[in-house]
Amino acid sequence: MKLYFVKDNKRIKYYNRYGQVVTKQGKIINPEQTASDKVIPGQNITKVYKDNKVVTRFKNTNLPPPPPKANFPEVKKGTISNIPPPTPKVKKGDYSNIPPPPPPMSAIELVSKYPNATYYFNNEKISHKKVLGLVKNQKGLSVLTQEKDGKKIIKFTSKDYVKKGLIKVKNQALYYINKNGKTEYFDRWGNKVNKEGKALSFKKIKKERTHIISTNNERNRLDKLFAFPKGTDVTYYLDEKPITKKEMAEYYTSDIKTMDAVKDKNGKKKILMTSI
């Protein structure tokens, strides 16, 4: 047992870890926790440390005074007061004369009110004149308003807008597609994953070499490389992005670094390629 002691005029006082006065052998003399201003005259000691560990602690008497009691005005029954009444509460099912909040501005009202704002439509910067025509002819637009350096920024997004891109999650790049408010994520191999990068339905399998035409000519066009049976449902990806057969005609086998085939639980195939 470690004890803390104070020597004063040849008199020694011992304290245990709880700030109680004890004998040299650790037997409790006074069970009350010693006040922090009573340990050493003229000092206020709340804790004593040794090797960055608390050896003992005392009752802290150096606390700020409590805040003054709130002085609320009192109104006696039958007297007139200028204190405003509390906000009325309306219970479910009751009728109220509290006016409803004003309706939000329509898209055309918002654009008309802020002619000098910076406008974006489906993530593309457009002029005030062009956005006026767009909001007149389109319904179901979502809007986001922001302010930067004192200037208003207004962004409109249509229902059918598809947002694509790459994000970094836990040191891995994920490709995402956002359509109609729903976001899907894919890893570098085209596997469908959640937003944390955890695989969902696709799993990596061996290359299906029976469906890949072998060739000695490294300059063969990429779209001529595959020969799947008619009616086979296949999706192609290059560097984590979907690519059509027509777009593949611009690439050659010598441009490809890796190639893998995956399939989901329904047997749908995906060809995943990375470029050099």
* 29-55 burial: b if 16+ Cβ within 10 Å, else e: eeeebbbbbebeeeeebbebeeeeeee
Task: Output the pLDDT for position 36.
Answer: 85
| Same domain, residue pair 121 and 179 | no
| Same domain, residue pair 126 and 143 | yes
- Cα–Cα distance measured from residue 164 to residue 186, given in angstroms and rounded to the nearest whole number: 11
Residue 173, domain extent:
162-201
> How many independent structural domains does the chain possess?
4
Helices (H) and strands (E) in the chain — how many of each? 3, 19
- Cα–Cα distance measured from residue 136 to residue 133, given in angstroms and rounded to the nearest whole number: 5
User: Is a pLDDT exceeding 90 seen at residue 261?
Assistant: no
Residue 79 maps to a domain: no
Within 10 angstroms of residue 135's Cβ, the number of other Cβ atoms is 21
Q: What is the pTM of this model?
A: 0.35
Cβ neighbours of residue 23 under 8 Å, at least 6 residues apart? Answer: 14, 29
Please tell me which of 54-58, 84-88, 215-219 the model is most confident about, judged by mean pLDDT. 54-58
| Same domain, residue pair 268 and 228 | yes
Tokens of 67: 């805040």
> 3-class secondary structure for 97-123?
CCCCCCCCCCHHHHHHHCCCCEEEECC
Task: Output the pLDDT for position 212.
Answer: 38
Q: What is the mean pLDDT of residues 39-43?
A: 83
| Same domain, residue pair 169 and 226 | no
User: Is a pLDDT exceeding 50 seen at residue 213?
Assistant: no
Task: Output the pLDDT for position 126.
Answer: 92
Residue that is written with structure tokens 């005259």 in the block:
41
Task: Output the pLDDT for position 120.
Answer: 92
Whether residue 152 contacts residue 145, with contact meaning beta carbons closer than 8 Å, is answered with yes
Q: Last residue of some domain: 157, 189, 222? A: 157
Residue 72 maps to a domain: no
Whether residue 262 contacts residue 187, with contact meaning beta carbons closer than 8 Å, is answered with no
pLDDT category at 117 given cuts 50, 70, 90 is very high
Q: Last residue of some domain: 31, 57, 83? A: 57
Residue 145 maps to a domain: yes
Q: Last residue of some domain: 170, 201, 232? A: 201
pLDDT digits (tens, 9 = 90+) for 165-186: 788 887 778 888 877 778 888 8
Strand pairing category for 234-238 and 203-204: unpaired
Tokens of 165: 């891109």
Q: Between the CA of residue 73 and those of 76, 77, 82, what are the distances in Å?
A: 10, 13, 11
What's the chain's average pLDDT? Answer: 79
* Amino acid letter, 173: A
Tokens of 33: 């926790």
As a residue count, the chain comes to 276
Q: What is the mean pLDDT of residues 205-231?
A: 52
| Same domain, residue pair 12 and 39 | yes
Task: Output the pLDDT for position 200.
Answer: 66
Cβ neighbours of residue 225 under 8 Å, at least 6 residues apart? Answer: 212, 213, 215, 253
Whether residue 58 contacts residue 46, with contact meaning beta carbons closer than 8 Å, is answered with yes
Q: What percent of the chain lies above the pLDDT cut of 90?
A: 4
User: Is a pLDDT exceeding 60 seen at residue 206?
Assistant: no
Q: What is the mean pLDDT of residues 82-109?
A: 80
- In degrees, rounded to 5, the angle at the alpha carbon of residue 209 between the alpha carbons of residues 203 and 215 is 140
Residue 98 maps to a domain: no
Residue 264 maps to a domain: yes
